[in-house]
């Protein structure tokens, strides 16, 4: 074992994290030009491990986007808490395949514990099954597969055996502003857009209950806890009642928004979410663990297991919980290690505190930008802020200059017929000072 190599790698990681708050958020043009050094022909001969690591740091580190530094507000992106980076480094050294107890008793036990903790923290039904996946996209896919399997089973149709050819149709009821990963996952599963009823939304992107279609027991209803731009929540309590009366399946797309359940101040937003059959959540956003980490929750463990069923003579299941029975893959890293570390370190109160702090930052930012003459286009209910200047041209110009300025980074979107700058505050590392620097950067960019 090359101890000095691993020491050096740890040192480089520590130095990177020590400087990330001070550097530009977006990389410099010189750093981006430097990436050309990676464009080599396929190596015929090998290179020493030290040189490999050195090149990665010299060329790669400066070309990273400083998403962990506290002033990255693009998409919806968390920053990795130091304790989760540390735990993940150890998990990488362990290199456990987390899918079976017999392959990794420790990973399996940490998954089992985190399953219980996550269900408790999010206020979901005791005993729900949790599958540890790469992302909310994969969590949605997995949950839709479970819903499809169960709705068809109730219609005496075994989708594993018979596929979708000639199957009774499943109707999908979804917001007309559902996250883009929803139609994609539905498409993978043969539930195309023509079979989706798109529910109109109000000005905040919430499904309109007055425009909600009739449901039946062959319907999958997908609601959003946390609209990707406005941060709004569908009226889940009312929808849940209709779903229950119809015998339909309710899924909550809650990548970041479901974490509001951890906070007494914001819990009201997720009211009704606990009545669903399945949920998709990210850990790499609000829980601030390293990429890539999300989880699917399913009320009925046997349904998820049936939908993900895989059998081969060489697979040795345990008498208890095996993670592979709850996800679509047969090899994966021990994602639960970092999740366990985050929850153990923060506790329920620490997680709630991150949610509350980032939401307070969002309000401060919205007020500061309004005072600076910008318009805030959404009702800032959580951690998302949509900002516009007088014209689309001004808005996009400000966004470009903010991105180029390097103080912070925000993306753009369209809201109604207007261009908007999209700010998402999800990182444990963001401070009040970061917000004030961001307001100044917007002012200067005008």
Residues that bind ligand PLP (CB under 6 A): 76, 135-137, 179, 181, 226, 228, 253, 255-256, 282, 294
96 vs 175, which CB is nearer to ligand PLP? 175
The residue (of 24 and 284) whose beta carbon lies closer to ligand PLP is 284
Residue 309's contacts (CB-CB under 8 Å, 6 or more residues apart) are 160, 325
Of 234 and 277, nearer to ligand PLP (C-beta) is 234
Give the nearest distance from C-beta 78 to ligand PLP in angstroms.
10
Q: How far is the CB of 319 from ligand PLP (least distance, A)?
A: 32
Q: Which is nearer to ligand PLP, 75 or 117 (CB)?
A: 75
| Smallest distance, ligand PLP to C-beta of residue 256, A | 5
What value, to the nearest 5°, has the Cα angle with vertex 83 and ends 81 and 84? 65
From the CB of 379, what's the least distance to ligand PLP, in Å?
17
Dist CA 13 CA 49 (whole Å): 16
Helix axes 181-188, 136-154, angle to 10 degrees: 50
H or E stretch at 88: helix 82-94
For residues 144 and 256, which CB has a smaller minimum distance to ligand PLP in the complex?
Answer: 256
Q: Please, which residue, 272 or 322, has the CB nearer to ligand PLP?
A: 272
DSSP state string for 340-356 = HHHHHHHHHHHHHHHHH
Q: Looking at 87-226, which runs of residues are DSSP E strands?
A: 129-133, 171-175, 196-199, 219-224
Q: What CA dihedral angle connects 96, 101, 105 and 107, to 10 degrees?
A: 50
The enclosing H or E element of 243 equals: helix 236-246
Cβ 133 to ligand PLP shortest distance, Å: 9
Question: C-beta of 216: minimal distance to ligand PLP in Å?
Answer: 26
Query: Of the two residues 27 and 226, which places its CB atom closer to ligand PLP in the complex?
Result: 226
| Pick from 77, 75, 37, 32: nearest CA to 54 | 37
**Closest distance between ligand PLP and the C-beta of residue 147, in Å?**
17
Distance (Å, whole) CA 249 – CA 232: 22
């Amino acid at each position: 074992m090359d101890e000095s190599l691993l020491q050096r790698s740890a040192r480089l990681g520590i130095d990177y994290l020590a400087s990330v708050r001070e550097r530009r958020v977006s990389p410099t043009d010189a750093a981006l030009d430097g990436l050309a050094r990676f464009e080599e022909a396929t190596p015929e001969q090998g290179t020493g491990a030290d040189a490999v690591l050195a090149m990665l740091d010299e060329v790669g580190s400066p070309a990273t986007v400083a998403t962990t530094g506290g002033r990255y507000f693009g998409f919806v992106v968390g920053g990795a808490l130091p304790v989760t980076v540390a735990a993940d480094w150890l998990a990488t050294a362990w290199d456990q395949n987390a899918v079976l107890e017999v392959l990794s008793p420790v990973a399996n036990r940490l998954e089992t514990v985190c399953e219980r903790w996550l269900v408790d923290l999010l206020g979901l039904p005791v005993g729900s099954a949790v599958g540890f996946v790469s992302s909310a996209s994969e969590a949605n896919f997995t949950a839709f597969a479970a819903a499809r399997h169960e709705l068809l089973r109730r219609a005496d149709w075994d989708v594993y055996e018979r596929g979708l050819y000639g199957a009774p149709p499943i109707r999908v009821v979804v917001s007309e502003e559902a996250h883009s990963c929803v139609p994609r996952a539905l498409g993978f599963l043969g539930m195309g857009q023509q079979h989706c009823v798109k529910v109109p939304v109000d000005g905040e992107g919430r499904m309109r209950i007055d425009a909600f279609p009739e449901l039946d027991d062959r319907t999958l209803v997908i609601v959003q806890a946390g609209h990707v731009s406005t941060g709004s929540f569908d009226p889940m309590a009312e929808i849940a009642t209709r779903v229950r009366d119809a015998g339909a399946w309710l899924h909550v797309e809650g990548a970041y928004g479901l974490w509001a359940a951890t906070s007494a101040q914001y819990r009201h937003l997720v009211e009704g979410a606990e009545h669903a059959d399945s949920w998709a959540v990210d850990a790499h956003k609000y829980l601030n663990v390293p990429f890539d980490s999300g989880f699917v929750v399913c009320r009925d463990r046997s349904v998820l297991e049936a939908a993900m069923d895989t059998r081969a003579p060489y697979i040795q299941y345990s008498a208890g919980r095996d993670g592979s029975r709850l996800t679509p893959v047969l090899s994966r890293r021990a994602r639960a290690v970092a999740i366990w570390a985050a929850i153990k370190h923060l506790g329920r109160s620490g997680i709630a505190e991150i949610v509350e702090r980032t939401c307070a930052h969002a309000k401060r930012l919205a007020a500061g930008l309004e005072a600076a003459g910008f318009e805030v286009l959404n009702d800032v209910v959580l951690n998302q802020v949509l900002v516009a200047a007088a014209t689309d041209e001004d808005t996009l110009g400000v966004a470009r200059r903010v991105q180029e300025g390097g103080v912070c980074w925000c993306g753009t979107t369209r809201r109604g017929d207007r261009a908007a700058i999209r700010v998402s505050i999800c990182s444990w590392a963001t401070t009040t000072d970061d917000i004030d620097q961001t307001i100044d950067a917007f002012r200067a960019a005008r």
